[in-house]
A and B are shown apart, each in its own frame.
Chain A
Amino acid sequence: MRSDLVVTGLGTIGPHGAGVEALAAGLAQSRVVRCEVDQSPAWHPAQPARFAGRVDPAQLKPWIDAAKARRQSLPSRLAVAAGRMAFEDAGLERAARAGRDVAVSLGTAFGPNDFTAKLLDQIAGAGPQSASPFLFMESVANAHAGQVALDSELRGANITVVQREASGLLALIQGAACFDDGACELALVGMVDEMGSLTHGMLDQYAALSRGAAGGGELGRAFDAGRDGFFAAEGATLLVLERASDAAARGARVRARITGAVRANDPSAPRTDWGSGVAHLSAALARGMQRHGLSPADFDAVVSGASGSRRGDWLEAQVLKRVLGAEALPTVLAPKATLGEFGGGFLGAAILALSSPFGPTPGFESIDPELGIRPHDGRELAPPQRLLVSSLAAGGAAAWLFVDAP
């Protein structure tokens, strides 16, 4: 991956609303926006997790062209809206993109689950011959990326990455790789997911979600001793990537510089949980830092993917401590405590961390002695110059990104 890529546009929609300001305000105020999940289809276990971060349809409406969107699933609509916002934020009107090779690389952990379920209902109910073409063409995981390309007329590579929690960061890295060998001139990268009752219920069946067992209410209590799972959310966050020289030439505002990335996998991970491959992942990250000429002291802050999951936060903490030094850890931000897991808000937070204040980590009460990490407590920070962004997925995939201030 090239080291001269910059982020010039950020589009985001999620539980906090539409747009960068809504996301930034949520992070600054440590405000967890959540709503009750429909339990009536009985997807959930007894004593279920009750809350998810969902998008208010009214927030989506101004960004969607109803006629064009009539066949789109919710995640497609979210992605299309975030894509439009990202280009607007980047000051790249349609005319400015015309004729350029613009890649799309979108991550999604679940794809269009709700449309898929509706289609399965039709097949088992009225029979396979009643299957709806509308539902089928929107049931593929790359429907979101395809709709974004269709909406914004983007004719470059159209990539969809599905790798659980790391889908967003891996999609960003795959989109950045399109600049290698001149395979694109501009890229729209990010993550989208919906959190309908079915997906929420299945995550709850896996005991992945916080149920408020520790008495602190349902929260993704990142790094906390009493964490009992994550808080699940939906949304879409898309970034515009371009070469620094291109951005400078058109006088674009640069939100962040992407200077490098590292990817690895922990083969010790079970299919649906995090593994214990601390040594392997740490070595991979350390090697990647070395390749980019970075040492632990170079990072002013870590944007951690810790979400309140028991095993995931444990693994995240061990890797960070081993690579950066347990005693020398910079400020560790855990935006998923505010934004929830999935839905891409994490990527937006990773960019905003350079310029925007973060409030205290919601739900954090006491240090877990096994983890030994106290995430950001809300104190005022000097704007970080260099961030380490970390995303470890259940099943083993890992991705890290080096992000510099403009």
Chain B
Amino acid sequence: MKLRTARHKPDPRSMRTRTDDAHAAPQPPLPPDETMTSESIQSRIKRVIVDCLMLEGLAPEEIGDEQALFGEGLGLDSVDALELVLGLEAEFGIKVKSDEMDRTAFNSVTSLAGFVEGQMAKAEAARASET
């Protein structure tokens, strides 16, 4: 075993470099569908919040753009934030690094929309620089 001391930086690796010969398991997220962009980012975020956090009985449109998502507002917590990131990654084709998980981005749907737009722009820039 090669021992490490702290400060080691692993090589940057692509997220998926091998095709999975899998089965009935959940499939990788589809890239964002262009036809869906007519739906606002805000309403897509609300849909992701309800679906992926299993908020049964809550309709997406009941969530206000400025409503606090955590604490007193919708009552979400840190694990919800992590689960929500997975949902947003799948919905918007973005990849959020652990050190980019800015707490303030999760204040409301509006702040999340800003965060997602930033991430999408970054992903777009990364794709452009690759080609």
| A–B direct touch in complex (beta carbons closer than 8 A) | yes
Chain A nearest CB: distance from B79 CB in Å? 5
Q: Say whether A206 faces chain B, with CB atoms less than 8 Å apart.
A: no
With a cutoff of 8 Å between Cβ atoms, the chain A residues found around residue B15 in the complex are: 127, 129
With a cutoff of 8 Å between Cβ atoms, the chain A residues found around residue B29 in the complex are: 126, 130
A125 with B55: in contact, given A132-B83, A134-B83 (CB under 8 Å)?
no
Nearest neighbor of A127 in chain B, beta-carbon distance: B16
Q: Say whether A180 faces chain B, with CB atoms less than 8 Å apart.
A: no
Contact A125 B25 (CB under 8 A): yes
A125 partner, pick from B20, B54, B57, B83, beta carbons under 8 A: B20
Question: Count of A residues near B, CB < 8 Å?
Answer: 17
Contact A124 B53 (CB under 8 A): no
B20 partner, pick from A41, A71, A127, beta carbons under 8 A: A127
Q: Say whether A121 faces chain B, with CB atoms less than 8 Å apart.
A: yes
Chain A nearest CB: distance from B71 CB in Å? 15
Q: How far is the CA of A126 from the CA of B18 in the complex (A)?
A: 11
Q: How far is the CA of A366 from the CA of B26 in the complex (A)?
A: 50
Cβ proximity bits A132-143 to B, threshold 8 Å, 1 near / 0 not: 111001000000
B contact residues vs A (CB 8 Å cutoff): 15-16, 20, 22-29, 53-57, 75, 79, 82-83, 86, 90
- 11 A–B contacts from the bound complex (CB under 8 Å): A66-B57, A67-B55, A70-B53, A122-B26, A124-B23, A124-B25, A125-B28, A127-B20, A127-B28, A129-B15, A130-B26
A contact residues vs B (CB 8 Å cutoff): 41, 66-67, 70-71, 121-122, 124-127, 129-130, 132-134, 137
* Known contacts A121-B26, A122-B26, A125-B25; 19 further A-B pairs (Cβ under 8 A): A41-B24, A66-B56, A67-B75, A70-B53, A70-B54, A70-B55, A70-B56, A71-B54, A124-B22, A125-B20, A125-B23, A125-B26, A126-B26, A126-B27, A127-B20, A130-B26, A130-B90, A132-B83, A133-B79
